Structure 1
Amino acid sequence: MYMPPHFEETRVEVMHRLIEEHPLGMLVSAAGGQLEVNHLPFLLDPTRGRFGTLLFHVARGNPVWTQCDEPIAPMAVFQGPQAYISPNWYPSKGEHHQAVPTYNYAVVHAHGRLRVMDDEKPLRSLLARLTRKMEADQPKPWRMGDAPPEFIADMLTKIVGLELEITRLSGKWKASQNRSDADKIGAVAGLREVGTHETIAMADTVVAASPATFSK
């Protein structure tokens, strides 16, 4: 990933937070000389390994779980806030017109080693933890115990659990850090005026990426 120094995020806890808030990631792996991409919900265990471990599952018919020994290590990609930035929001445009559109975003790339977790007990535990996380905001959270035991037992035979022990984390926060203070403030005002969930999240990201600008 192309990484200008002013956009690089190195704090593990910040990258972990993005993964936890945006758990649907892209697993990119290589098989037979070709790249494969699977879109999957991940559960992060930050206590396992130097950079944490990602836990997930796939359908047994998905061949990715048979590719753990491929020479090219897989990676998971997580997309955080993202939003279009109009040059009309920059005060500098009115001064010299040397401004162009761009896109702001925050992403994490998690590289690691893939392992199969095919025993029923750890797989059942993974599903229970994933369900608790995803159902946490529901008025009456669904639990695995709500379904008939024989149905759950049958479903377990049709999926495979996987672990991606993270060996390297890369974070890129493209959040207007390369603009002047006035342009950053203008970008935040423009994003908030658009008022969608994504633009407000990016406005908050710009503020967090340049605290000195917004603490004056």
Structure 2
Amino acid sequence: MYTPPAFREDDPVVLRQIIREARLATLVTATAEGLMATPLPLILDENQGEHGVLLGHLAKANPQWKTPAMGEAMVIFSGPDAYISPSWYATKQDHGKVVPTWNYSAVHAYGEVEFFEDRDRLHQAVSRLTDLYEQARAKPWAITDAPDNYIESQLKGIVGLRFSITRIEGKNKMSQNQPEQNRRGVAAGLAASERETDRAVASMIATDPQE
């Protein structure tokens, strides 16, 4: 990922936050048959390895897990993003030398991917993922709410995924290369948007409260 110094994100806390909040990731592997990619939800286990381990599952019918990967694999996490209009830049009135751009945050995790069919490991991985996304609900659904024989039949249709992160790249492109007055204009413009993601990006743009 091309990451100019101004946009580089190395803080492990921020990187983990982007991963957790991305919800849907994309697993990419290079194979002898070409690149293969699968969008899927993953859970980050921060207690394993230097950078953590990602856990999830994919359909057994998906050929990606059966196709040997060449070299390391990659998982892409995308955070909030927004179109940036040059009309929000205060310097537009000064010299007009402004163009549109895009603000976004992203994490690329690299490492080794392991696929497994062990029933107990699969059950544990699915349970953890389900519990993670159900915990905020007033009445969380649990795997135990479904009949055992139904769950067993569903487990036979998937394979587990364990991704050991060996290196990680982060990028937060949030108008850091713009002067204060332009950042203020961008933040104000996005904050007034009807799009939730635009407003999320607005809150991520650093502005000086003293000015």
What is the TM-score when the length of structure 1 is the normalising length? 0.93
Equivalenced residue count is 211
CA distance in structure 2 between the partners assigned to 1:104 and 1:36 by the alignment:
27
CA distance in structure 1 between the partners assigned to 2:29 and 2:131 by the alignment:
28
Letter in 1 for 2:179: S
Find out whether 1:43 has 2:43 as its counterpart: yes
What's the offset of the Cα at 1:74? 1.0
CA distance in structure 2 between the partners assigned to 1:195 and 1:204 by the alignment:
14
CA distance in structure 2 between the partners assigned to 1:57 and 1:18 by the alignment:
20
Q: Report the secondary structure of 2:166's partner residue.
A: strand
Specify the alignment match of 1:61 in structure 2: 61
List structure 1 segments (4+ residues) > 4 angstroms apart after TM superposition: none
Map 1:21-40 → 2, pairs under 5 A: 21-40=21-40
**Over aligned residue pairs, what C-alpha RMSD do you find?**
1.3
CA distance in structure 2 between the partners assigned to 1:33 and 1:181 by the alignment:
49
For structure 2, the 5+ residue unaligned runs are none
Specify the alignment match of 2:180 in structure 1: 181
What is the TM-score when the length of structure 2 is the normalising length? 0.96
Specify the alignment match of 2:201 in structure 1: 202
- Percent identity between the two aligned chains: 39
Specify the alignment match of 1:14 in structure 2: 14
Map 1:39-188 → 2, pairs under 5 A: 39-67=39-67, 69-188=68-187
What's the offset of the Cα at 1:66? 2.3
Letter in 2 for 1:34: G
Letter in 1 for 2:153: D
Q: Report the secondary structure of 1:95's partner residue.
A: coil
Deviates more, 1:135-144 or 1:146-155: 135-144
CA distance in structure 2 between the partners assigned to 1:36 and 1:214 by the alignment:
46
Q: Report the secondary structure of 2:40's partner residue.
A: strand
Q: What do the CA deviations read for 1:139-158 (whole angstroms, capped 9, x no partner)?
A: 21111011110000111111
CA distance in structure 1 between the partners assigned to 2:93 and 2:139 by the alignment:
53
Q: What do the CA deviations read for 1:147-197 (whole angstroms, capped 9, x no partner)?
A: 110000111111110101001110011100000011001110000011421
Q: Report the secondary structure of 2:138's partner residue.
A: coil
Q: Report the secondary structure of 1:194's partner residue.
A: coil
What's the offset of the Cα at 1:137? 2.3
Letter in 2 for 1:104: N
What's the offset of the Cα at 1:121? 1.2
